[in-house]
Amino acid sequence: MQDDRGTPTAGTERGDLHHVARALVRARPVVVIATVVALVVGVVIIVQVVRGARGTACDRASFRVGLRGPGSAPPPPIGGGSLSSRIHRAFHGTSPAVFCDDFPDPFVLRVGRRYYAYSTTSHGDHVPVLTTGSIFGGGGRHEALPHMPAWTDGRNAWAPAVLQRGRTFVMYYAPGMPDGRHCLSIAVATNPAGPFVDGSRAPFVCTPASAIDPSPFVAPNGQPYLVWKGASAIEVAPLRGDGLGLAGPAISLVTASQPWEHGIVEGPSMIAASGVVYLFYSGGQWDSANYAIGYAVCATPLGPCTKAPTNPWLASNPTAQGPGGQEFFTDPSGRLWMVFHAWVDGKVGYPTGARNLFVVHVTFVNGTPQAA
């Protein structure tokens, strides 16, 4: 039965279930067993169809910039373990989809032959982390930062990134403040999977406007730096050797100056190649299809930096939209990979969409970065 709005009524549902239950009690045991098995199989099929639909959307997504670099290979597994056919936690042939679910502002840390992926607050975790057994098979993500300091809002932790210093792992992230801003903080752990502990009583870096998107970079000479998004510019400062403090003042590298950026530059990350430093960053509104990735070439980690005139370097296409939040890591053979998030299947923005996790191989041809 339905009410006048065409919606099944609660009383009718309970009545129908009551009749079904009585019928099952009167039926032979074999009928009961068969009915239960059919119900279970039906639920499994529905779940697989839903997962398959989401996986198909991710599988169709593709990213390519310039020529296919030499030595290109399928993305390396994050976490390790054998490949699984499960839609949400596996690579799909040559598809760049790694995790077809919400995993924004990703950062990947490789420790030996294992990979650890961290993201902005999602699904109730302050800092979700994917480790061995998480992407492949069951397990899912888990919490890397169980507790946040009292000076934060206790809820939001944006764009975590981890720097290994000996046996210590230093996490830089941007917790929310009670007044609505975000500032930078530090948490430490002895295990890259966590738990990370933030015992601070005040922010690490904070301005009257927000400071977000911290990303560590170690120069070829071994000097560590931290780059982040300040009030209106991408900023950088040298770090102490232990990574737990700044070793110099912050310097502005680039501001929003190109039309595609729509007045916003954020999500910075640095890599060294061909004798120079490349500063990659995201530009535009994060929850729109205009979000994209650009880059600048810097003489040193402290600048000066010159933006590529061909920006944006990686932008929306018919299969995936709003790529951004990029970071870089290498596999054991030294190949360079970029991890980032993107919306898929035209579902841009929450709550209908999700910022899925992708990985692409990056090379340099005549000093120009290529992704394939």
Per-residue pLDDT tens digits for 342-366: 998 899 999 999 998 888 889 999 9
Name the region of 82 (left: φ>0; alpha: ψ -120 to 50; beta: rest).
Answer: beta
d(CA 204, CA 208) in angstroms, rounded, equals 14
Beta-bridge partner residues of 128: 143
The residue assigned the tokens 């760049």 is 96
Q: Which residue has the higher pLDDT, 186 or 134?
A: 186
Per-residue pLDDT tens digits for 328-345: 998 888 889 899 999 988
pLDDT higher than threshold 50 for residue 242: yes
Share of the chain above pLDDT 90, in %: 59
Q: Which residue has the higher pLDDT, 31 or 257?
A: 257
Per-residue pLDDT tens digits for 92-135: 333 344 677 889 999 999 888 788 899 999 988 999 998 754 33
Q: Would you state the pLDDT for residue 204?
A: 96
pLDDT higher than threshold 80 for residue 302: yes
- When the pLDDT of each residue in the chain is averaged and rounded to a whole number, the result is 79
Q: Which residue has the higher pLDDT, 100 or 275?
A: 275
The residue assigned the tokens 């299809």 is 289
Collect all residues with Cβ–Cβ distance below 8 Å to 273 and sequence separation of at least 6: 336, 364, 369
Domain extents in the chain: 61-371
Token pair listed for 370: 């290529």
Q: Would you state the pLDDT for residue 49?
A: 31
Q: In CATH, which of 3.30.43.10, 1.10.3720.10, 2.115.10.20, 3.20.10.10 is domain 61-371?
A: 2.115.10.20
Beta-bridge partner residues of 277: 272, 298
Q: Would you state the pLDDT for residue 101?
A: 82
User: Between the CA of residue 246 and those of 109, 241, 249, what are the distances in Å?
Assistant: 21, 9, 7
Backbone angles phi, psi at 77, to 5 degrees: -70, 140
